[in-house]
A and B are shown apart, each in its own frame.
Chain A
């Protein structure tokens, strides 16, 4: 049963997607592991939210959970809600999800070379969503597909329509993926490292294309990347993830001007004059602890120069340090994660951390950079 959620509060901008206290685990042979822990963020209509973090921090798991694409078992949503246009996707049944996927909520993936079916023509693969969601026949879909191919900057659409993926370059294939994702005019596009596998000039073209499409259609984008340059160029808001949690979340300009989390600050300091495209998040000594080895306190403590004694004991809550006292701290984050699922059921809706990005600058740190 999809769960309708009451509007929690008046938002400045209309929130399209709001993730609240989401925790995701996997059943593995060594027992259950928590991969994503209590994350909250929101994407407003028409904006681009950047989700950044080192490889393995849980970005793809989060993205695929929003689409409910991870097979369960082994994946499991252990707590939290994914409110998309008033429906809690975390609770939605498979039939409801099928109506949303590829229709209102679409996704493109990191690997354009393997993400297309090698035995089907480009045209057939793009048109498929129209057949599914709009009930069109193949003949009716064709002109729309050709138009979409032109929109994503693919020349000679008639020829491309009949080609197979192996006949196209990586950049063209990613354009095809974008065409495929946008064919039903979704409200939100989740782009999981859409340019990571492409070379630099093609990367720039694809990012330009995404910006142009956003200007024309007003689509919101959740852009996942580990490239801070891409974030600076593309995003309105940024969420920085570290080892399955949110370290810092802020409007992009604020974050780049004044990073508060030692992790973010380290990343930005490592590249002179903020980050340019190509500056990846691998410049801090040490490595990200894998799920299950994240310790009990702040999982960045082993790599952090500002660590206090408390840091190794308690998980820092995500809160806006500039507004402490005037605003409610992030309640969901302070709840012991083991009790989170129960708390979610018992707490009234208003007890949730509000995930609105707004102008807030939220940091999960006991001793933030001043």
Chain B
């Protein structure tokens, strides 16, 4: 177990270093001159040169990266061009809202995906199965802004069950969480279905039936634990998928998280904010993967040996 943990942790650390390098290179790919943005339109060449030295842009690339990485390691994400404030605290203030949204989305997708997949597997080949799988296909293939706007229109505008936008209560959370989680729910229902069907073919399921168990018990007690493993293993990975969805969903629902912050930063080409959010997002994706790896052995004791 310790070795397993050590291997996973060192792999995660390597990935994070890779991410900082990529983010750093981003600076040069974005078609904007930070010096011009900070100095403003009416600046003289001397002023611009001074800012360039201030930012360290006159130094060689490797040196620039090292000082960037050192600042990152101290938790210093730099200063926003547009807001003239520290990026670190800015992200920190937005993060809880995004985490809450993602937690809501994970709950939503599990609540949708697992029962739907179980249902479809138990009705394999029947109408119920086909309906469930068609719906799951729709949720996976509908763009999130279409989904978000539709939910907003029906449940908030027409029916008035939920507020139109904002943050602060459970009813604010439900629509954005469902929007973010629905596609994942569709995925999960498919994974759950095929995983269940695979498990129900196993010899030990026959053993369970030979004990005189009802089909329902066989599914819930013997098959579910085994079938849910590949699904649970995905939850951590979802964090990565959510990170892109968060940008759309937070903007549709006016949710004050890092997705909204990212969108505003992209529009104003606020490179330190873009870099900061990207780095934080990468941190979460790596943490999510690590989490997925750590949960698996708890569910399937065989993995402990590896």
Contact = CB atoms under 8 A, between A and B. Distances in A.
Given A118-B301, A119-B226, A166-B301, A128 B211 contact: yes
A119 B226 CA distance: 7
A118 B302 contact: yes
Contact of A109 (B203, B214, B305): B203
B301 A115 contact: no
A99 B212 contact: yes
Contact of B206 (A98, A115, A119): A115
A107 B210 contact: yes
Contacts of A67: 210
A107 B203 CA distance: 13
B212 A101 contact: yes
B301 A102 contact: no
A314 interface: no
Tell which of B206, B211, B214, B305 has the most Cβ of chain A within 10 Å.
B211
B232 interface: no
A101 B204 contact: no
Nearest to B217: A132
B52 interface: no
A100 B206 CA distance: 15
A67 B207 CA distance: 11
A166 B302 contact: yes
Contact of A180 (B203, B206, B207, B209): B207
Contacts of A221: none
Given A118-B302, A166-B302, A102 B204 contact: no
Contact of B204 (A103, A107, A114): A114
Contacts of B211: 101-102, 128-129, 132, 180
Residue among A98, A100, A181 with most chain B CB within 10 A: A98
A98 B299 contact: no
Interface string B270-306: 0000000000000000000000000000011110010
A192 to B, nearest CB: 10
A115 B203 contact: yes
Interface string B187-225: 000000000000000111011111111100000001001
A100 B212 contact: yes
Given A117-B204, A119-B225, A69 B302 contact: no
Interface string A86-129: 00000000000111111100110101001111111000000011
- Which bracket fits the contact residues of B? 20 to 34
A77 interface: no
A177 interface: yes
A133 interface: yes
A26 interface: no
Nearest to A70: B206
**Chain A interface residue number, banded:** 20 to 34
Contacts of B212: 97-103, 129, 132-133
A305 to B, nearest CB: 40
Contacts of B225: 117, 119-120
B130 to A, nearest CB: 18
Interface string A264-294: 0000000000000000000000000000000
B210 A69 contact: yes
Contacts of B208: 117, 128
A109 B207 CA distance: 8
Given A119-B299, A166-B301, A114 B202 contact: yes
Nearest to A106: B210
B209 A115 contact: no
A97 to B, nearest CB: 8
B301 A109 contact: no
A117 B300 CA distance: 11
A352 interface: no
B207 A177 contact: yes
A69 B211 CA distance: 11
Nearest to B200: A71
A109 B209 CA distance: 12
A28 B302 CA distance: 36
A148 to B, nearest CB: 14
B204 A118 contact: yes
Nearest to A130: B211
Contacts of B206: 64, 69, 109, 115
Q: Which residue, of B207, B300, B302, has the highest number of chain A Cβ atoms within 10 A?
A: B207
Nearest to B302: A166
Contacts of B210: 67, 69, 101-102, 106-107, 109, 181
A101 B213 CA distance: 8
Nearest to A119: B225
A98 B207 contact: no
Interface string B215-249: 00000001001100000000000000000000000
A164 B301 contact: yes
B214 A118 contact: no
A117 B301 contact: no
Nearest to B205: A117
A159 to B, nearest CB: 15
A103 B225 CA distance: 25
B302 A116 contact: no
B306 to A, nearest CB: 11
Contacts of A100: 212
Q: Which of B212, B299, B301 has the most CB of A within 10 A?
A: B212
A127 to B, nearest CB: 10
A185 to B, nearest CB: 14
Given A115-B207, A119-B300, A133-B212, 5 more contacts: A69-B206, A101-B212, A102-B211, A116-B204, A132-B213
13 contacts: A69-B206, A101-B210, A102-B212, A107-B210, A109-B203, A109-B207, A115-B206, A116-B207, A118-B301, A119-B226, A132-B212, A133-B212, A164-B301
Interface of B: 202-204, 206-214, 222, 225-226, 299-302, 305
Nearest first, the 4 A-B pairs at minimum CB distance are A102-B211, A101-B212, A102-B212, A114-B203
